[in-house]
Amino acid sequence: MRNIYGIVKKELDKIFKFPRMIFSTLVLPGLLIFLIYAIMGQSFTEQTNIIEEHKTIINVVNMPASYQMIVNDFENIEVRIVDEENIEDIKAEIYDGDNDVLVVFDHDFDQKTLNKEKPKVQVVYNPTDNRSSSGYAIVSVTLNVQKEGFLQVMGINTNIIDNLSEPVYDEKKATGSVLAMLLPMFIMMFIFAGGMSIGTDAIAGEKERGTLATLLMTPIKKNEIVLGKVISTAFIAILSALSSFIGVLASLPFAKSMFDVGGTVSYTINDYLMLFGILIVVALFSASLMLLASTIGKSTKEATMYAMPVYILAIFSSTFSMFNEVKDTSIYMYLIPIYNCTLGLKAIFAFEAELLPFLLVIGSSIIYIVGTILILLRMFKSERVLFAK
């Protein structure tokens, strides 16, 4: 036990004796999650304010009297009556983002409508420009009001068409579903990045510096060396997971404002416990996989090359789960390594976590962690693997 403690202390000294390593490994993951959502949330808020303060320019060709009556009642818009020969110029301005919306009515629009000739209205806007898209939404409303006005003029009771909308949804889940799209990806990315930066150096770095052979010559069992490496790397990965956990908690208000969700973001103690439990197993699995790559690699650079596919797989799995519905997920999906943790995180953030899927995620992940460590122990006993040329 004393030997294992010595190995653990030796590995942890690589981190805790250097402030830069403490910052990059333990503080940076959570700080980045917080800063990303804080900056993005602030940017979204500023962009929304710009759109709300912007005076929408609506260019109208062949303005009918029925439409002029409608737009006069709308605030924060500027209506410009333009000639047909200017249509192409205005389209070019809208394309370049220098103008908002162009509305082209048929000649004698009102009369054709009264004669039931089905006149046409063309609306030109730029869907890639936020102000133009907002202007298009305003124009759509004004045109609908105009249609209703014509029903009254033609003596048709407007109440004959009953448009009723009744949104039925859980505001809490609506809020959580938005957060569940991106937060799991950032968490997996930072934990695996932290495990890769530490784990790949734990054994391959010893090989590169020539200290592994010296360590093996000491009266310390190989099993103790491996366990010491695993415990120290897992400890750092867990601290990195804790940093990410704190970053997630701090970023929730910014994430809510960024996605403009109206519900409340209030998770229960059970949600937080499940979240922390999944972060722990992700950190342990990440550490064991990175140590496996470090054992195979002859140098830190080569170990990082072997670990990179695992890191990419972690990001891909979180991206793949972004658009999947939690309720439609097969129970067997919670047994797939790495992907199961992503599904577990998504279920928690979406307020849809259940006990059985959570236990499957934790249980299967522990099995994978133990299996990886056993493989690592077996490989560590092979000099052909440790000192491959």
Domain assignments of the chain as residue spans, ordered by start: 2-44+172-386, 55-160
Return the closest-CA partner of residue 199 out of 286, 261, 78. Answer: 286
Count other Cβ atoms within 10 Å, centred on residue 106.
18
Written as six digits, the tokens of 314 are: 């972690």
- Please count the CA atoms within 13 angstroms of the CA of 14 that sit on its side-chain side: 19
| pLDDT less than 50: residues of the chain | 158, 160-166, 168
CA 383 to chain centre: 43
Contacts of 266-270 with C-beta under 8 Å, sequence gap 24+, read 266/172, 267/348, 267/351, 270/353
- Give the single-character DSSP code of 61: E
Three-class SS state of 314: helix
Spatial neighbors of 127 by CB under 8 A, at least 6 apart, are 133, 136
Instruction: Name residue 139's amino acid.
Output: V
Contacts of 382 (CB under 8 A, 6+ apart): none
The strand order across the sheet containing 101-105 reads: 77-82, 56-61, 101-105, 121-125
Q: Rounded to an integer, what distance in angstroms lies between the CA atom of residue 96 and that of residue 283?
A: 48
Query: Are residues 308 and 330 in contact, defined by beta-carbon separation less than 8 angstroms?
Result: no
Q: How far from the centroid of its chain's Cα atoms is residue 306's Cα? A: 26
Q: Report the C-alpha dihedral over residues 56, 57, 60, 64, rounded to 10 degrees.
A: 50
How far lies 345's CA from each of 35, 248, 323, 326, 338, in Å? 20, 12, 14, 10, 11
Sequence-ordered alpha helix ranges (H) in 210-221:
211-217
Residue 20 confidence (pLDDT)? 78
Question: How far apart are the C-alpha atoms of 41 and 34, rounded to whole Å?
Answer: 10
Cβ contacts of residue 380 below 8 Å, gap of 6+? Answer: 222, 225, 226, 295, 386
Instruction: Tell me what pLDDT residue 171 has.
Output: 65
E-only strand ranges, 187-296:
none
Under 8 Å CB-to-CB from 228, ≥6 apart: which residues?
A: 3, 4, 5, 6, 7, 8, 10, 11
Q: At what angle do helices 269-296 and 355-380 cross, to 10 degrees?
A: 20
Helix/strand/coil (H, E, C) string of 333-346? HHHCCCHHHHHHHH
- pLDDT for 362: 96
- What confidence score (pLDDT) does residue 221 get? 78
Q: How many residues does the chain have?
A: 389
CATH of 55-160, one of 3.30.70, 2.30.29, 3.40.190, 2.60.40: 3.40.190
Contact, 291 vs 202, CB < 8 A? yes
Residue 1 carries which side chain, given as an amino acid letter?
Answer: M
pLDDT at 209: 79
